[in-house]
Structure 1
Amino acid sequence: MPRLTDARKELRRAQITEAAVRCFSRNGLERTSIADITAESGLSTGSIYAHYRNKADLVQASAQAVLAKRAEVLGDYAASDTPPDPDELLARLVAAINPAEARVGVQTWGEATTNPAIHAIVVDMIDRMRAMVRDCVTAWLVKVERLAPAEARERAHPIADRVQDLYLAQLLLTALNSPNSPNSPTEEASS
């Protein structure tokens, strides 16, 4: 059997994590099985296990994939000549929220309260996102507000924390109001 190239392995891993996110969003973390992810991805169970040891690995990979998307966007904002101010940064982050990813994120937060492995993933992801938001706010303070880098880093902390907290609150609201959520406005209207 031919071996997969590194690029092909990454494509396959992405295919699996995207299928996992769809399943987690639709069925919930607890009710999603590897068999569900296998069916959703169109791959064999052996292929899933060749890339991931278990469902916890898939949850971690899914969270990292979502964070990677935000990291790319935040990195672009911070690197631009005129990074967005905190209000605009928050508006852009909120506009980019994917309801399916929001549902998976909120489910992952819930699982983090009882599962130490998931807890570590969630804390790491939130901390990494907070650091990226802080970098973006720091860049805005330096490039637009013309503060010295040391002062900008110091002043960025509370501003970035507020942006991150408001973003997480909006993520929760999006998850609660999305079409696949129980008692969402869409489901109530169709009942």
Structure 2
Amino acid sequence: MILFVGGLVPRLTDARKELRRTQIAEAAVRCFSRNGLERTSIADISAESGLSTGSIYAHYRNKADLVRAAAREMLHRRADTIGGYAAADVPPGPDELLARLTAAIDPVHARVGVQTWSEATTDPAVRDIVVDATDRMRAMLHDCVTAWLVKVENHEPAPARERAAAIAHRIMALYQAELLYTALRTPTGESQ
């Protein structure tokens, strides 16, 4: 506990800490989208979030840590969506799955995603994040396509898993192409 004039100030609860981390990560994503990863400073994120620089450093070690948090947050959003599709009584087929994913693309997230891919070509820590996020999303797509092949197309599970791998790979590639297209066609500061 920290001593404060007139008494003790309670520590942040775990839930409050997580909300603060999310607030900071969302501010970072907005800054990254507007200014680019390289040109965004912790001071920019501080101003965007309304929090002190010290508060940001209390939650994140550095900007790279914020990039990782932003990548994880975007992946979690996709994971929840894709997981729901796979668990449905009638999972969407590959074309419908891709259509749903591309319809949900946020231009801000698309710009940050493309910038993160660029950073991944020169920064091993960012490359690890991008490769992990891509592999995890492809695995989720694989699960969803497998569920569709088994539940809708009536394939046996083992052959369905094998066939789903190539389909999931193509869906992932087309989704990434759509992210790039969205990032390039939507001017900074505008939404889709």
Listed as ranges, the matches of 1:1-191 within 5 Å are 1-180=9-188
Q: How much does 1:7 deviate?
A: 0.8
Q: How much does 1:151 deviate?
A: 1.1
> Over residues 128-183 of structure 1, what are the superposed CA-to-partner deviations in whole Å (9 max), with x where a residue is unaligned?
111011111011011111111111110100011001000000000000011218xx
Alpha-carbon distance in structure 1 between the residues aligned to 2:67 and 2:96: 30
Whichever of the two has the greater Rg, that structure is 2
Letter in 2 for 1:65: E
Alpha-carbon distance in structure 1 between the residues aligned to 2:171 and 2:158: 20
Unaligned runs of 5+ in 1: 187-191
Paired residues, number? 183
Partner of 1:59: helix, strand, or coil?
Answer: helix
Alpha-carbon distance in structure 2 between the residues aligned to 1:22 and 1:140: 36
Letter in 2 for 1:4: L
**TM-score normalised according to structure 1 size:** 0.93
Q: How much does 1:2 deviate?
A: 1.7
- Identity among equivalent positions (%) equals 73
Q: Which runs of 4+ in 1 moved over 4 A?
A: none
Partner of 1:161: helix, strand, or coil?
Answer: helix
Alpha-carbon distance in structure 2 between the residues aligned to 1:7 and 1:146: 44
CA-based RMSD: 1.3
Unaligned runs of 5+ in 2: 1-8
**TM-score normalised according to structure 2 size:** 0.93
> Over residues 50-96 of structure 1, what are the superposed CA-to-partner deviations in whole Å (9 max), with x where a residue is unaligned?
11000000000000000100000000000000000000000000000
